[in-house]
Amino acid sequence: MMRTRAIAVGVIILLGLVAAGEWIARAQLGLGTPPLSVAHPTIEYLFIPNQDVRRFDNRVRINAYGIRSEEFPASKPQDEFRVLVFGDSVLNGGNLTDQTELATELLRDRLEYASERPVVVGNVSAGSWGPGNWLAYVREYGFFDADAVILLISTHDHRDNPTFEPLNPHTHPQRTPVLAVWEGVTRYLPRYLPDLPVRSDRDTVVQETDADDIPLAAERGLADLSAFLELAQGAVRAVIVAQFLEQSELIEEPGAGHFLIRDLSRQQGVAVASTEP
């Protein structure tokens, strides 16, 4: 009898600790509700449409087109000014950026103030997207009657091509975790205890390009970039390529890809701006 009672007490305490940990993980740490991704046959992957979650006390809104923007109709109203901004994790902002603090949301507010008319700025991005992903996205969804397109692109993006490898659940979760505590243990704890035998965000879906494959990867990436810019020029009134420099490039000098992207864009008659200043 005493042993049975001790086991029961132990179980109750354990359940209490799990419940307390779950509350802390969800309410205080913002775990348990990651934005979910889905594999796609041509885009490679994108966010599952129609998500509105809170993550680390930040709101993450994914609309019906699988992009991090509020809802907007596919066809633009006559009095509206519409911009689509394409990019990768730099533009997307990730879980640590609230929806209101995204560059695209700030741009929308400024354009609305300056133009005194309705403005939509679409955030067409996902972590590690490159020219092949952007090209496939517009072939699938089009440009939504946009007036202008801005492409925020980094030096390495000229050879960041889709691999169509299985999505890593730690970097591109496809299902909501049953327990927020379990997500914390498997996804984030290894960052602080790297010797733990569990997978972490370091196991990414992106594979490094072998040195021997870099010229071929660059050729493919630049071809996709050229095709994307050509489609954009045929669909909207203004196209801008904004080159985002990494910190190491500011200290030393831009990589070769920076100049390949710049020259290709200029050859196609696209305006190029650098974020360096």
196 pLDDT band (50/70/90 cuts)? low
Could you report how far apart the first and last alpha carbons of the chain are, in Å? 76
Q: pTM value? A: 0.86
Q: Does residue 140 sit in helix, strand or coil?
A: helix
pLDDT at residue 227 is higher than 50: yes
- Quick one: average pLDDT of 151-162? 96
The strand pairing partners of 154, in sequence order, are 244
- Quick one: average pLDDT of 259-273? 97
pLDDT at residue 236 is higher than 50: yes
The rounded distance, in Å, linking the Cα atoms of 96 and 191 is 16
Contacts of 193 (CB under 8 A, 6+ apart): none
pLDDT computed for residue 197 by the predictor: 55
- Quick one: average pLDDT of 174-183? 76
Select the more confidently predicted residue: 10 or 217. 217
Q: Is 134 left (phi over 0), alpha (psi -120 to 50) or beta?
A: alpha
Strands, E assignment, the chain: 37-40, 44-47, 51-55, 58-62, 81-87, 119-125, 148-154, 238-244, 271-274
47-54: long-range contacts, CB 8 A cutoff, minimum separation 24: 47/126, 48/174, 54/30
Cβ-in-10-Å burial (0-12, 13-18, 19+) of 22 comes to middle
The rounded distance, in Å, linking the Cα atoms of 188 and 198 is 10
pLDDT tens column, 67-95: 999 999 999 999 999 999 999 999 999 99
pLDDT computed for residue 211 by the predictor: 47
Place of tokens 């196991």: 203
Supply the CATH classification number for the domain 68-163+207-274. Answer: 3.40.50.1110
Select the more confidently predicted residue: 202 or 126. 126
pLDDT computed for residue 268 by the predictor: 97
Which residue type does 274 have?
S
Q: Which residue stretches of 87-192 are H helix?
A: 89-92, 103-115, 131-141, 180-183, 189-192
pLDDT at residue 205 is higher than 50: no
* Residue count (the chain): 277
Closest CA to 154 of 127, 179, 178, 135: 127
With a pLDDT cut of 90, the percent of the chain lying above it is 67
Q: What is the mean pLDDT of the chain?
A: 87
pLDDT computed for residue 193 by the predictor: 64
Looking only at the bridges linking them, the beta strands covering 37-40 and 44-47 are antiparallel
- Quick one: average pLDDT of 150-170? 95
pLDDT computed for residue 173 by the predictor: 92
Select the more confidently predicted residue: 21 or 72. 72
pLDDT at residue 142 is higher than 50: yes
Say how far residue 2 (Cα) sits from the centre of its chain. Answer: 56
33 pLDDT band (50/70/90 cuts)? confident
56 pLDDT band (50/70/90 cuts)? confident
Select the more confidently predicted residue: 123 or 201. 123
